[in-house]
A and B are shown apart, each in its own frame.
Chain A
Amino acid sequence: MMRTTFLLVLLLAIATRAHGADKPAPAVAGVPADSVIETLKVQREEIKAPKHESLRFLKDHRVFVRSQLDRLRTQVTREHTNGVQILDARYLKLQEMSAAIAAAQDTIGGEQARAAQQSLLSSVTELGKLEASLDLMDSLLVDERARLLWLEKDFVGHQETALVIVIRGLSGQALPTGIAISEDNEVTHVTLSAADRASLAQGGIAQIFHEFVEPRTHALQVKLEGGAWDTRPASVVTLDAPRDRLTFLELDLSSALTALSSLNTRVWYR
């Protein structure tokens, strides 16, 4: 009996509310129908809950630790010394390589001038000279390859965790004026330069972002801006940035205006 009564009351309440919702909202006295009514909505900032608790003691005893730190007074002293600094050995190596490249260029220049003078081989002896010249070119190429390998090793060996974002696939369609990349309430606005726009219009690629990032999983919100792109919602791209590696993210925007759900992406590492 009690349950039946409760159900009846509940149904009556729902019916009354639905009836009220059908009615148009009453006009506010003194406010014209076409005026702009500004409303303020307060929302709480979304805080991501940590996967694992960290720095627990500090958080539990923050008052004590802060009270101890408040009693400190810091003094910064800077001493300038004119002592000799150790020069990075790589700079010396680069200088040596630069000299070697200049010498190789001179050699090639000399060989080219001699080859220009010899329009026709007149004897077998000269054929031998030509072979020797080709061997010299080969050895110069080997040296050049060795220098390039050293430079690449040096570059990759000092790599820090960084992210590079490139975009492509915009030939034959309206170009966005800029791109907003956001993560954890931090937004980076990138404006496409004239060179970027020219490259994209011709079917090329453009680098829009190159920064150091934390070595972790990143969830980036990518929002294209300008013209028709403003109506497109932001896409979320998730990628892992391994430590001490250069992470490349390619955004293929060829179908971005038609397929609103996600962007075609490609990730590779160096």
Chain B
Amino acid sequence: MNLIRALMGPGSVHPGGSRYARSHREPCTSPPIRALFFITSLFFFTWCGATWAGDNPSPPFSARAGLDAAVNAAHAWATDAQLVYLENDEVVGPDGNAGRWGYLFYSENRGRARGYSIRDGKLDEAADLDFELDAPPVSTTWIDSNAALAAAEKKAGAEYCLANNGRLATMLLIRGAFHERTPDATTWAIVYTSPTAPALFVVVDAAKGEVVRMWRG
């Protein structure tokens, strides 16, 4: 009751006193209007929250499962487009699947990069990258997100999450950026974050499926 009264503001009727308990200069809104406003606002924000949070969850899929649709769209944009980067666009589950994956392609002819977000086997979003990224194309053979996540979890991810109340934040596939010793290798980088500890980066060789590097920061 006190909570409702607090939300309804000082103009609400006090059970044991006058509604004019506050300054007499302020116009007083009648309680039914305030209640209606409160309920409408509550409904509006609840609805918005549900929509932004993705009220219609799409079936999760692995990174490779959405590649075909992304390649198809990218080749319509530029026939020489090559995959240079991919990342989960929605939360990755413990099985390495996500409801949406983002694929970035680079075209030498166009000199530009364009990203494609795939959901449920269909193109959800297509947009040019708004900054330059001259990344090399990833190799054609790379393990799927399921296997990469399993390797990272086994090596350090599961332990990190347990010890630090952490969670898997990002999975990304790129060539050359995260494995200094073997820059030619295409690697998965799995990023875990925690509210109490520095983030954990686990780099998995996308050809062999082995963890090749880890660091905190």
Contact = CB atoms under 8 A, between A and B. Distances in A.
B104 interface: yes
Interface string A27-54: 0000000000000000000011011111
B89 A52 contact: yes
A66 B134 CA distance: 8
A161 to B, nearest CB: 6
Nearest to B69: A243
Contacts of A160: 72, 75-76
Interface in A189-248: 211-216, 243-244
Given A54-B117, A69-B134, A243-B72, A214 B126 contact: yes
A243 B176 contact: no
B160 interface: no
B177 A56 contact: no
Contacts of B31: none
A213 B135 CA distance: 24
Contact of B136 (A48, A52, A72): A72
B72 A215 contact: yes
State which size class the interface on B falls in.
Answer: 35 or more
Contacts of A216: 73, 123, 126
A54 B85 CA distance: 12
A197 B158 CA distance: 69
Nearest to A215: B123
Given A52-B125, A54-B127, A65-B133, A215 B73 contact: yes
A211 B102 CA distance: 24
A69 B104 contact: no
A162 B178 CA distance: 37
Interface in B72-119: 72-73, 75-77, 85, 87, 89, 100, 102, 104, 115-117
A212 B127 CA distance: 17
Contacts of A11: none
A161 B72 contact: yes
Contact of A244 (B72, B125, B177): B72
A122 interface: no
Contacts of B122: 215, 243
A153 interface: no
A71 B18 CA distance: 73
A57 B134 contact: no
B76 A69 contact: no
B96 to A, nearest CB: 16
A58 B136 CA distance: 15
Contact of B76 (A47, A62, A212): A212
21 contacts: A50-B125, A51-B124, A52-B89, A54-B125, A55-B115, A55-B129, A62-B131, A65-B174, A66-B132, A69-B133, A69-B134, A69-B176, A72-B177, A160-B75, A161-B72, A214-B116, A215-B69, A215-B76, A216-B126, A243-B69, A244-B72
Given A52-B117, A69-B176, 14 more contacts: A48-B127, A50-B125, A51-B124, A54-B125, A55-B87, A55-B102, A56-B170, A57-B169, A58-B87, A69-B135, A69-B177, A72-B177, A214-B77, A243-B72
